[in-house]
Chains A and B, each alone.
Chain A
Amino acid sequence: NAGVIQTPRHKVTGKGQEATLWCEPISGHSAVFWYRQTIVQGLEFLTYFRNQAPIDDSGMPKERFSAQMPNQSHSTLKIQSTQPQDSAVYLCASSSDSNNNQAPLFGEGTRLSVL
């Protein structure tokens, strides 16, 4: 079984450019989560979907970040007008919704560097 697949693994953007990050959850998993990891802030929750519907986006910076899940096989995180402080590793995780005790399993992340 393939795990959570994230592409690209590394992305470099110039300040003000747009970045789109992709996540393919584990087949059959209905919950998809996005987290951001930095040395200073640690692991921060951004947003999550259940059965493709947005459930909680309380961690998303409102102005430039958006996330979508157009179908059950992929989710995207888009950052408009990227800033140096957006540099981080963005992690996607998925979990089964068969009951409420399934641990989210993480992808390898996308390392975003904003120059």
Chain B
Amino acid sequence: GEQVEQRPPHLSVREGDSAVITCTYTDPNSYYFFWYKQEPGASLQLLMKVFSSTEINEGQGFTVLLNKKDKRLSLNLTAAHPGDSAAYFCAVSRFNSGGSNAKLTFGKGTKLSVKS
């Protein structure tokens, strides 16, 4: 089955620095990609969804890059601030021609700490 490897498991940066989290996946049929943020004691908050037809997506304060050739997905937080401190998870699902939603396979997560 699908395997998703996420690196690094822990990341500490100073306020204003960039932070990059990377996931690699194995299933060539992976088609939908998601990033979630989880603050301590809270649930998963959707940051961004990416489809395999797009390669660069920009959100508020971050960029998501998808490299299908290398099966690599990355989240780049530009100018991190203390409010970005949280755990971040990538998730991958397959294309399902039947139209139903397929299950997500998650990376193990990255605990980001942003120090002021």
Q: Which residues on A are within 8 Å of B, measured CB to CB?
A: 31, 33, 35, 42-43, 45, 48, 50, 55-56, 59, 91, 93, 95, 97, 99-109
Contacts and interface: CB of A to CB of B under 8 A. Distances in A.
B103 A99 contact: no
Interface in B97-116: 99-109
Specify the main secondary structure of chain A where it touches its partner: strand
24 contacts: A31-B100, A42-B106, A42-B107, A43-B89, A43-B109, A45-B103, A48-B101, A48-B103, A50-B100, A50-B101, A56-B103, A95-B101, A100-B95, A100-B96, A100-B100, A100-B102, A101-B32, A103-B34, A103-B46, A105-B46, A106-B36, A106-B44, A108-B42, A109-B43
A102 B101 contact: yes
Contacts of A97: 99-101
Interface of B: 32, 34, 36, 42-46, 49, 51, 89, 91, 95-96, 99-109
Nearest to B42: A108
Contact of B103 (A33, A91, A105): A33
A35 to B, nearest CB: 8
Given A42-B109, A91-B44, A109-B43, A104 B104 contact: yes
